[in-house]
Amino acid sequence: MTTPRLFSGMQPSADSLHFGNWAGALLQWKDMQDTHDATYCVVDLHAITVPQDPKALTHQTRRTAAQYIAAGIDPEKSTLFVQSHVPAHTQLAWVLNTITAFGEAGRMTQFKDKSQKEGTDHASVGLFTYPILQAADILLYDADVVPVGEDQRQHIELTRDLAGRFNQRFGDTLVQPEAKILKETAKIYDLQHPGSKMSKSGESPQGIVWLLDDEKTLTKKIKSAVTDSEPEVRFDPEAKPGVSNLLTMFSITSGMTIAQAEAHFAGSGYGDLKTQVAEAVVAAFAPIKARTEELLSDPAELDRLLALGASRANEVATATLQRVYDAVGF
């Protein structure tokens, strides 16, 4: 039996990743390294589809890569690289552009959401074709599985459709991947707006728990989390979204199940709950923050690790692109 291949990535769109990115992506990526031939990418080409600042992009790309490593992605065991270091991504995206129907691209709901700020008339064509570049990212590595959140399901379907269509027109060339939708229990909500998911682009700065926040800031944010007026610590996402979110965060950082966490807090008040969640999160993040700072303080070492990843990624990606070029007649 061959080891299944996996591809996943995140945009370098902030200085720090947040609790949701860690719980919903990095923790699972870390575990999957042992059972998969894993490729993890910092997707900087995707990050320029919205207005951006070049200095911030450089900085955020390096910080995102450092956080992948600090959270347990092993650059020797897995392939960890920056998307713009591998030219085949844009080259395959062009070929896939030519087999994507305009209407098909237009049905991608994320463009509708993401273009709202600028309006569809001013949003970039790059934002519109973003899912096609994403398909190229995945297909270059012959990925069997793509671990993503529920919001990415449509893009993985498009990737499958494009691979299938390419193979039908030009002969068997590309591997059709499966989405692995990450666990619903790992969905983390904004501390101030527990009805909305925690997001890098979230509206209230106090609601986002950043991986690189210092201890004081983390503690203050968690102690100010919105809860409800009942006294009971109980897991009930519908009726008690704030408290349930804190229990989820506690469960992930302490290693207890939700039921064990509920039992642990039986008879406790929200003050006690928040104190213990804050302590658990601070303890879980401290080594990640320290390792990130260490990596960022040694730019030559980080460059070396990213060059190693780019070299491995290039080898696989160039071979796939060559199969595609041969198939289309280049």
CA nearest neighbour of 330 among 98, 32, 105, 137: 98
Q: How far is the CB of 147 from ligand ADP (least distance, A)?
A: 7
CB nearer to ligand ADP: give 95 or 179: 179
Which stretches within 71-146 are classed as H helix? 88-97, 102-106, 109-114, 125-140
CB-nearer residue toward ligand ADP: 67 or 320: 67
Q: How far is the CB of 120 from ligand ADP (least distance, A)?
A: 20
Dist. CA 88–CA 111, nearest whole Å: 24
Nearer to ligand ADP, 184 or 272 (CB): 184
Measured distance CA(114)–CA(182) in Å, rounded: 22
Nearer to ligand ADP, 108 or 188 (CB): 188
Taking a C-beta distance cutoff of 8 angstroms, is the pair 210, 18 a contact? Answer: yes
CB of 197 to ligand ADP, least distance (A): 4
CB of 75 or CB of 147, closer to ligand ADP:
147
Sites of contact with ligand ADP (CB under 6 A): 10-11, 13, 20-21, 23-25, 148-149, 182, 186-188, 197-201
Alpha helices for the chain (secondary structure H): 19-21, 27-32, 44-47, 54-70, 88-97, 102-106, 109-114, 125-140, 153-170, 215-223, 241-254, 258-264, 270-296, 299-328
Query: Which of 232, 181, 251, 175 has the alpha carbon at shortest distance from 19?
Result: 251
Separation CA 27–CA 99 (nearest Å):
35
Closest C-alpha to 191, from 215, 214, 223? 223
Question: Alpha-carbon distance 149 to 290, whole Å?
Answer: 28
Nearer to ligand ADP, 89 or 314 (CB): 89
Rounded Cα gap, residues 68 and 305, in angstroms: 12
Looking at the DSSP assignment, which residues form a beta bridge with residue 180? Answer: 147
Least separation in angstroms between residue 43's CB and ligand ADP is 9
- Tokens in use for 288? 């990640």
Place of tokens 């291949």: 5
Provide the token pair at 103: 């209407």
CB of 46 to ligand ADP, least distance (A): 9
Residues involved in catalysis:
114, 197, 200
In whole angstroms, how close is the CB of 315 to ligand ADP at the nearest point? 26
